[in-house]
Amino acid sequence: MTHVVIVGAGPAGLAAAEHALAAGADVTVLDQADAPGGQFHRGAAHRFEALLSRCAWWPESTVWAVEGRRVHVLRGPADGTHRRRRTLEPDALVLATGAHDRVLPFPGWQLPGVFTAGAAQALAKGERVAVGRRVLVAGAGPFLLPVAESLVDVGAEVLGVLEANPARTVLQGWSWHAAAHVGKMTELVRHAGTLARHRVPYRMGRAVIEARGDDRVREAVTARVRADWSVVPGTERTYAIDALCVGHGFVPQPELAVAAGCALDGGFVRVGDDQRTSVAGVFAAGELTGIGGSVAAAAEGAVAGWAAAGRTPGRALLERRDHARAFARRLAAAHPIGAAWPGWLREDTIVCRCEETSYGDLKTAAADPAAPGPHALKLGTRAGLGPCQGRMCGLAVADLCGGAERHHRPIAQPIRLGELAEPKELP
């Protein structure tokens, strides 16, 4: 029987598991979280009990390295002291490790009380905790709406949802093509309805350009921005807040795929028609291969699971995946990142929060002829070398200084020296 290992139990990984099982494979699913569901189905683990009872299900299992199809796993809570090291060598590997929020830097974004939209939603959905009492949600993308909805749901007063792109760009993107994606439109209308009932305004063409406060965020300065996100002078407005949630789209997490040797296209894992990567026996699905929401992730996962089990995906599966991908392309067109966002920055604006590298430091280093290239820039300023390893600032640094974001991290997740030195794998 073909043994398929699936890394990531979000919509993509779970759909891959379901289809690999249906195709007759022996399936192991692992996730670093303690419950299945990923970002979208957070708090809905019970829905997957029946599916996972037919697999080997490894929660709290972090894949810290991949070599080809060999998967190195640490089992146990990430903050625990007794994690067990295990290695798996499946016939096929499906990578479905998703994406994380992208946040563009702006003055004050490092203040306590400024959250990524994803973190705010995770706390609201997973723990029923509101990140603040008076909250502003800002950035770009349709995902700001469900974030605001979940905040309202746990009792926060949401002062507004600000989409930086102008109405023309957003509405063009969502126009008649969206009609072909009725499910998604219904979802959007439902979110909009909830926000309207709670009198939460949705404003397009407006961005947060500064967060202010001493020990924590107290105010957000917003401004009208043009289509390229340059600020229209004189349009600034200040909100008194105690929390700010920002998200400017998503960044894929391709470290494991890169470690496995998979080729990338523009930061996403390159896949063929059946979600096969450039490495034999390794498949990828979901946000790793393109940002498109949970439906697209699940549709790709279904194809990947079927193909990983050694079966040729049927037309219906492929069509469903292609339809969902077309929607993802529309989404990207409706919510682009404006090229003029660096205009929000000041010399002292922190860009790499781990290493406290400022915009001024980066500009000086990038202009230094004695240290050309992204590698020298990184070593000279330490941007991207802190604990998050550039996950937060990598794209911003690449945008500001030129060059591509680097994903090659042979050790994809933190591992203690003691765990690494453990001579033999524990059962």
Ligand X SMILES: Cc1cc2nc3c(=O)[nH]c(=O)nc-3n(C[C@H](O)[C@H](O)[C@H](O)COP(=O)(O)OP(=O)(O)OC[C@H]3O[C@@H](n4cnc5c(N)ncnc54)[C@H](O)[C@@H]3O)c2cc1C
- Residues at the contact surface with ligand X, assessed by CB under 6 A: 7-13, 30-33, 38-40, 62-63, 96-98, 101, 117-118, 121, 143, 146-147, 253, 256, 286-287, 293-295, 297, 412-413
Distances in whole angstroms, Cα of residue 72 to Cα of each of 125, 291, 335, 361, 420: 30, 27, 37, 37, 11
**Shortest Å, Cβ 276 to ligand X:** 17
Q: Which is nearer to ligand X, 107 or 118 (CB)?
A: 118
Helix, coil or strand: residue 190: helix
**Shortest Å, Cβ 297 to ligand X:** 4
Q: Which is nearer to ligand X, 331 or 365 (CB)?
A: 331
Q: Which is nearer to ligand X, 118 or 166 (CB)?
A: 118
Single-letter code of the amino acid located at 115? F
**Shortest Å, Cβ 363 to ligand X:** 31
Single-letter code of the amino acid located at 157? E
**Shortest Å, Cβ 427 to ligand X:** 20
Distances in whole angstroms, Cα of residue 52 to Cα of each of 19, 35, 320: 12, 11, 24
Q: Which is nearer to ligand X, 286 or 338 (CB)?
A: 286
Q: Using an 8 Å Cβ cutoff, are 302 and 315 in contact?
A: no
**Shortest Å, Cβ 70 to ligand X:** 14
Give the residue among 117, 140, 141, 138 at the shortest CA–CA distance from 209.
Answer: 138
Q: Which is nearer to ligand X, 15 or 401 (CB)?
A: 15
d(CA 411, CA 408): 9
- Cα angle 92, 15, 298 (rounded to 5 degrees) comes to 115
Q: What is the DSSP string of 241-306?
A: -SEEEEEE-EEE--HHHHHHT--EETTEEP--TTSB-SSTTEEE-GGGT---HHHHHHHHHHHHHH
Q: Which is nearer to ligand X, 268 or 371 (CB)?
A: 268
d(CA 279, CA 406): 19
**Shortest Å, Cβ 296 to ligand X:** 7
Q: Using an 8 Å Cβ cutoff, are 93 and 84 in contact?
A: no
Q: Which is nearer to ligand X, 38 or 384 (CB)?
A: 38
Q: Where are the alpha helices (DSSP H) in 9-143?
A: 11-22, 49-53, 117-122
Helix, coil or strand: residue 41: coil
**Shortest Å, Cβ 141 to ligand X:** 9
Q: Which is nearer to ligand X, 9 or 223 (CB)?
A: 9
**Shortest Å, Cβ 82 to ligand X:** 18
